[in-house]
């Protein structure tokens, strides 16, 4: 049996086949649980739905799954069991999420960072930053707006503080600003990658090859990702 959960409708159809409960019931449950953050008792909820609507428990011995969401976990999927699969912005809001813990504990090495180069790059792209901040449509996206404001703050700090005689305490302050920018950029980059994967497979492949978190040789990445395009 094929278990296709690539869309809500396909998942509901598959659940109907597995349990005998009409697909409209499963879709209604999905909408009812929209925004839910605690999935601790999700298994009990499923059992109750099957019992209430006269369904049957599925035989999972002969089941093939088709999915588009793949995740990894270093803590045995504790967060997923607790909160369910949520988007990256929502995941970051949970204080105990793996993403939040990684970003909170990640540290940059300020001694290896060329502050002058960052200042110059931000100066070269100041018009782009101003245009983005002035775009009312983008301001509706809270995390994206916060990212832009954090970058602008970093630019102002570098413009006013960076010089040959910069003090150690100023470097420490800029280090914190850089870390804040890094956190927001990481989340927004991952959200953008998710968007490309759903809508523009070719652009997504190109983005994977240029992935800043993948340190493999470009030829290795080319072979890996280009062969995946059908």
More confident residue, 120 or 78: 120
Tell the residue number behind the tokens 């976990």, with chain if given: 73
In the three-class reduction of DSSP (H, G, I as helix; E, B as strand; rest coil), residue 4 is classed as strand
DSSP string, 51-105: HHTT------TT-EEE-S-----SSTTHHHHHH-S--HHHHHHSTT-HHHHHHHH
Examine the pLDDT at 88 and tell me if it is beyond 80. no
* Residue 124 predicted with pLDDT over 80: yes
What pLDDT does 68 receive? 54
Residue 1 tokens read as 């049996």
Using the predicted structure, report yes or no on whether residue 70 has a pLDDT greater than 60. Answer: no
pLDDT band at 77 (very low <50, low <70, confident <90, very high): low
- The residue among 95 and 173 whose pLDDT is bigger is 173
151-176: pLDDT as tens digits: 999 999 999 998 888 899 999 999 99
Q: Within 10 Å of residue 18's Cβ, how many Cβ atoms?
A: 19
Helical spans, DSSP H, in the chain: 8-19, 23-32, 42-52, 78-83, 88-93, 98-105, 115-124, 126-134, 136-139, 142-161, 168-199, 201-209, 218-226
Q: Which residue has the tokens 């960076």?
A: 162
Nearest 10 degrees: Cα torsion 211, 153, 105, 210 = 0
For the chain, what is the radius of gyration of the CA atoms?
Answer: 23
pLDDT at position 35, please? 58
> 209-219: per-residue pLDDT in tens?
887 777 778 88
Q: Would you say residue 74 has pLDDT above 70?
A: no
Q: How far is CA 62 from the centre of its chain?
A: 32
Tell the residue number behind the tokens 């409708």, with chain if given: 9
pLDDT band at 125; cut points 50, 70, 90: very high
Looking at residues 15-43, what average pLDDT do you find? 78
Polymer length in residues for the chain:
230
| Bridge partners (DSSP) listed for residue 3 | 65
pTM over 0.85: no
Which is more confidently placed, 141 or 126?
126
* Percentage, residues of the chain above pLDDT 90: 20
Please report the pLDDT score of residue 92 as a whole number. 63
């Amino acid at each position: 049996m094929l278990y296709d959960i690539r869309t809500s409708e396909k998942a509901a159809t598959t659940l109907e086949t597995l349990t005998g409960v009409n697909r409209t019931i499963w879709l209604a449950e999905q909408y009812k649980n929209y925004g839910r953050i605690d999935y601790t008792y999700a298994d009990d909820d499923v059992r109750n739905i099957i019992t209430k609507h006269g369904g049957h428990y599925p035989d999972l011995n002969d089941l093939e799954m088709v999915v588009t969401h793949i995740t990894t976990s270093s803590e045995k999927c504790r967060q997923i069991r607790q909160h369910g699969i949520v988007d990256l912005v929502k995941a970051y809001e949970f204080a105990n999420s793996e993403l939040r813990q990684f970003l909170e504990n990640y540290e940059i090495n300020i001694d290896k960072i060329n502050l002058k180069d960052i200042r110059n790059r931000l100066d070269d792209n100041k018009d782009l930053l101003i245009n983005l901040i002035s775009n009312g449509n983008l301001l509706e996206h809270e995390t994206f707006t916060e990212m832009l404001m954090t970058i602008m703050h970093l630019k102002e700090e570098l413009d006013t503080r960076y010089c040959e005689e910069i003090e150690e305490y100023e470097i420490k302050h800029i280090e914190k600003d850089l870390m804040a920018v890094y956190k927001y950029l990481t989340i927004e980059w991952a959200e953008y990658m998710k968007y490309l994967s759903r809508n523009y497979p070719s652009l997504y492949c190109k983005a994977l090859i240029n992935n800043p978190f993948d340190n493999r040789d470009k030829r290795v990445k080319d072979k890996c990702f280009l062969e995946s395009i059908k």
